Amino acid sequence: MRILAIISGEYGVRHVKNLQAYKPEGWSIETWKPPAAFPLIIDYPEEFLPESFEPCDLILSFAENKSVAELIPEIAEMTGAKGVVVAVDNEAWLPRGLARQLRGWLERMDVGCATPKPLCSLTTRDYKVTRRERETYESEVISEFARYFGQPDIRITIDEETATIKSAQVQVDAVCGCARHVAEKLIGISVDEAEERAGLFHHHFPCLASMVKLDDYNHDTLMHESGHLLQENLAEQLKPYKKTRYIAPGERSE
């Protein structure tokens, strides 16, 4: 797979470094940095683009400027890309209405598009757009990418004698590498503490998703939502091994 990653700053740089380090054999990744500033209205997208791009199959946008979304259809046409993933780890980078527009523009070009909010909600078939809504997509190249990078899937094995985590294998890493970081730190952790500790490891990575509270996430943040997705992945695996605690009511004092 040939990938073009659009990056604006350290957020995108970290994601690309993780992809370069753990990408499957045969994948190649090129990067492009867009201009730092744009006018309020972009009449001619080509004025902000290079004369050419290398052909690619998938565009990953880690741009931290919503104006870059207006360039993506032109970039897709120039590269021949068949899929686009735009990271929405901060709603300011791609507001919900603009995300719908972008998906519509690309659909008319027969280019698949996913705008996962947060980025680590991407699966091989859908992604989150609000706390309770997921959007489906149809794109072989995006699905292939999401087999390796997207919504974290860590498979754990338990030492039943000590009730601790014996191994943690990353089946799907977060694009930023957070799942791999958490998996390494889970070894030896008690099953009763693992879920909570995983949330702390996630935050301390650190997760770069926004800490702005959003109405469509029940006034929670995308950083917290990202942590919940990772914890939920572990919760079902840990459940059979966790101790059930019962509280016995005491006698009322006179």
Residue 134: predicted pLDDT: 97
Amino acid letter, residue 111: V
Q: Are 12 and 61 in contact (CB under 8 A)?
A: no
The pLDDT-based confidence of 250 (bands split at 50, 70, 90) is: low
Q: Where are the domains of the chain?
A: 2-146, 153-241
Segment 170-191 shows an average pLDDT of: 97
Residue 234 pLDDT > 90: yes
DSSP class of residue 205 equals S
Per-residue pLDDT, 54: 96
- The pTM score is 0.91
Tell me what the mean pLDDT of segment 148-171 comes to: 97
pLDDT, mean of residues 177-186 = 97
Using one digit for the tens of pLDDT, what is the confidence trace for 57-111? 999 999 999 999 999 999 999 999 999 999 999 999 999 999 999 999 999 999 9
Q: Which fold has domain 2-146?
A: Rossmann fold (3.40.50)
Non-local CB neighbours of 241 within 8 Å, separated by 6+ positions: 158, 160, 163, 191
**Whole-number Å distance between alpha carbons of 181 and 146:** 18
The two beta strands, 2-7 and 126-128, are unpaired
Average pLDDT, the chain: 94
